[in-house]
Structure 1
Amino acid sequence: MNAGLDRAARRVLIANWRRHATVPAARLYPHQWSWDSAFIAIGLRHLSPARAQRELESLFGAQWRDGRVPHIVFDPHVPADAYFPGPSFWRSGSVPQAPGVPTSGIMQPPAHALAAWLTYRADPAAARDRGFLPRLYPRLVAWHRYLATRRDLTGSGLMCVVHPWESGMDNSPAWDVPLSRIEPVPAGEFTRRDLNHAAAADRPTDTDYGRYVRLARDYRDAGYADSLAGHAFAVEDPLCNALLAAGEHALAAMATELGKDPDPHLAAAARLTEAMAATLYDPSAGIFFPRDAHTGSHLRSYSIGGLLPLVVPGLPVATELVKTALGDRFRLGEASPLPSYDLTAADHDPGRYWRGPGWVNTSWLFWHGLRLHGEPSLADDLRDRLLERVRDAGFREYFDPLTGAGHGTDEFSWTAALVLDLLRTP
């Protein structure tokens, strides 16, 4: 059975390859997405380490001069109206720090350093021959520097996301409170392309989308400048900060490999870990909550992002996060993939984008964290159930965490890539 699943996953990744990178899904997402490419590289390293390296190199080839890595790199061979918001909306060409290729102006969670280190380890000799680390390491350092400086909007030592799309969990209930302050752009002023390829019941509402457009338009019109006063939505997100901390550990390993001093990266990881634990962790709840940068208040919504600091080596509250995951809100041991949002909440929706369904990438991160923190039995059980879900429902974008019903688009690249990793990681 696993051999067939392995072959099917490889077929998805081959079909979604476009000259230099992999699209998330041919119809719904026809360009290169940032954190998708990180997860895709983690799977591709088992199929072709060189291609996994090219996936990341292609993304960082569109890095802005200020260090940011855009969440979309647009393919000029794809019709301009195939996706909204497209290049004409973002207008990156008018921004001095933007690259020569059209991109968006926002970012996505910084999973890239972890992906780059795992990719390097898949075939160090080939990576050395290609000069992979010498090329990518300084770009990753610049990326992390942008997040740690330009995006520390409160001085807390934590980075902020300034748009729900930057969190990777676009319309999570975690963002409902700060989003409620945003006046949506009327639906008649933009044309959604996602509903041509996915059911409306699975996607964000027009009101949510109108708020996303408002925030993105305001950021664009401000020249993509970062300041707390300039961002109506600004949130210190546990998932993004955890990936930044885990990425600093990966950069430390890269620095050692390159004969550089790893200590600055380890110190940055320690500072981030301490700041997350002091600022975002709630001991009484056993989970991390995002913090609204404007009000200083926790956004007390039990989302999967609050469990994912488990990816940070040496996290002092790892045991507590596992205990919370085993409880009724997430039901680790039964739910698969882990739900994106509290199963006990009255507004849990098992089919709507990030408001309840489970995604393979967030479950992969939790699986990685379980292995990191000495929970091999729980990790093996989660892996087996994830593979069973995909075997039964296909390479879907996301799944009902209890019934296993597939939702969103199909032939989804990071689902296929992470299935390859789950199958092939000892």
Structure 2
Amino acid sequence: MAQLPALRWNQDSGHAGDAGHSGNTDRTAHRARRVLLRNWTGASTVPSHRLYPHQWSWDSAFIAIGLRHLSAVRAQRELETLLAAQWSDGRIPHIVFNPAVPHGAYFPSPEFWRSTTAGRAAGAPADRHTSGIVQPPVHALAVWLVHRADPAASWRRSFLPRTYPRLVAWHRYLTSRRDLGGQGLVAVVHPWEPGMDNSPCWDGPLSRITPAATGSYRRADLDHGAAADRPTDLDYGRYVRLAADYRDHGYRDRGTAWGFAVEDPGVNALLTVSEHALAEIALALGTDPSVHLDRARQLTGALVRRLWDPDAGQFLCRDLLTGALIRERSAAGLLPLIVPDLPVAVAAAMQRTVRGEHFGLGNRVRLVPSYDLCGTTFDQHRYWRGPAWFNVNWLLEHGLRQHGYAERADALRSAMVTAAAATDFAEYVDPYTFQPRGARDFSWTAALTLDLLADPEGGTRP
């Protein structure tokens, strides 16, 4: 079998709040655990009871990574619940709807997506309602870390044997049906898919989209979120139009005239890391990991070839309808730092960019903003157009540490824990002031804080 490179990730199986932590750290860990317990529904965890009352795909992966320090079995159930809603074509939908929540509590609701009817030909499950689009593939990494947290419980419940085939099908869907450019990278077909919904990177591609008619839908997000924090009505109308068009074409990925198709570096970096995790899982199951290692190498090569911009010192998105790189700097272009076999020169250039004028880490700000501090559309309050997000910074902390920048990773880790505790685990924060924005008691903020506290010096490695 192939020799696996070390997957350098925090795989500590201890619990946050162990002896030796300070009183403040213990209190923060206790508060983080309380958030996860309150947001647990019995089978999965909501990101926020009011603003996001269902199960979200990449949220659940990040949540499980933190839950493993509270209960590895509960973390397994989090991921199993999500995977149970997988479509037969392999896609993992970005929302799994809770039937106990009134449909008017969130838009787009099940009546909008119509997964059981419009998605039937694409393999949507008949026994539950989901959305029809996807989110970044963090799941294999989450499965591997959850397994490592309590291997005995994992083997007793056959966690890896049951999840591995589903993860393989998920990655096969992405690398086959979503390689829309034919160059070895996954494409997203809606701004909600890369997770950074309202990024200025999408302004150009979205300008081609005619918004859905005013009055044809009602935004539920403004019932619980400040309008100044949320996407504009114009952008939201375009999101609705794209989703409705995809639905009306039966969620088909082939033969569709795309209005929006973008190769995103963050999505592809997470897929690359998850292929490395699948190699670890395959080896644990006694299966040859070579196919996953080969695919990880291919993805890394395609990322550098297609999306690396040496003048920018970071990766950029590529608009497949024009063929051009999108000249906007977002934090998605920094996420390839998590890729373990990234060329040394590329990693070095990226860490300089992280600290430079555009992202200012350690100089102008203590958390990495979601968008270029010098960008003309930078907004430190509005959703994904400037605020700092905890999942992005958690990934970058690992990326910096992995490539040898431990001191910078330590400072980022400390800032994340401080900001999370000070803001009641806010959804996102002003990168300058740590002023909380969006929802409070946000699940992935609490979960990733718990993960950081479980390994306070970043020293636990396989």
Q: TM-score, normalised by structure 1?
A: 0.99
User: Aligned runs of 1:256-275 on 2, under 5 Å?
Assistant: 256-275=283-302
The structural deviation recorded for 1:229 is 4.5
Structure 1: tracts of 5 or more residues without a match: none
Deviations 1:93-125 (A, max 9, x none): 112210121000000011111111111111111
Q: Secondary structure at the match of 2:349?
A: helix
AA in 2 matched with 1:171: N
> Structure 1 counterpart of 2:56, which letter?
W
Tell me if structure 1 keeps the 8 A contact 2:249–2:256: no
Q: CA deviation at 1:227?
A: 3.3
Distance 2:400 2:153 in 1: 30
Residue 228 (structure 1) shift: 7.0
Give the corresponding residue for 1:61: 84
Tell me which residue corresponds to 2:10.
none
User: Which of 449, 456, 462 is the matching residue for 1:419?
Assistant: 449
Distance in 2 between residues matched to 1:196 and 1:49, nearest whole Å: 35
- Relative distance call for 1:376 and 1:228 in structure 2 (3 A) is farther
CA distance in 2, matches of 1:338, 1:394: 19
Alpha-carbon separation, structure 2, partners of 1:122 and 1:311:
21
Q: How many residues align?
A: 426
Task: Tell whether the 8 Å contact from 1:153 to 1:228 is kept in structure 2 after alignment.
Answer: no
Distance in 2 of aligned mates of 1:161 and 1:147: 10
Contact 1:154 1:228 in 2 (8 A): no
Preserved CA contact (<8 Å) 1:84 1:193:
yes
Identical counterparts, % of pairs? 60
Deviation at 1:80, TM superposition (A): 1.2
**Structure 1 partner of 2:257:** 230
Question: TM-score, normalized by length of structure 2?
Answer: 0.91
Task: Give matches, 1:93-242, under 5 Å.
Answer: 93-94=116-117, 95-96=119-120, 97-99=123-125, 100-227=127-254, 229-242=256-269
User: Residues of 2 paired with 1:291 and 1:271: CA distance?
Assistant: 18
Choose which of 382, 389, 392 in structure 2 pairs with 1:362.
392
Moved more, 223-232 or 208-217: 223-232
Match of 1:381 among 411, 427, 438: 411
SS in 1 for 2:259: coil
Name the residue aligned to 2:429: 399
Structure 1 runs (4+) deviating above 4 angstroms are: none
Match of 2:51 in 1: 28
Q: CA deviation at 1:333?
A: 1.5
Query: How has the CA–CA distance of structure 1 residues 102 and 229 changed in structure 2, closer, same or farther, with 3 Å as cutoff?
Result: closer
Q: Which amino acid in 2 is paired with 1:125?
A: A
For the Cα contact (< 8 Å) 1:228–1:234, is it kept in 2?
no
Q: Secondary structure at the match of 1:164?
A: coil
Asked if 1:331 corresponds to 2:354, the answer is: no
2:225–2:438 contact (8 Å) kept in structure 1 = yes
Q: More helix by proportion, 1 or 2? A: 1
Q: 1:290 maps to what in 2?
A: 317
1:230 is displaced (CA, Å) by 2.2
Cα distance, 1:204–1:228 mapped onto 2, change above 3 Å: farther
1:40 touches 1:418 (CA, 8 Å); kept in 2? yes
Secondary structure of 1:17's match?
Answer: coil
For residues 314 and 290 of structure 1, the distance between their equivalents in structure 2, rounded to whole angstroms, comes to 20
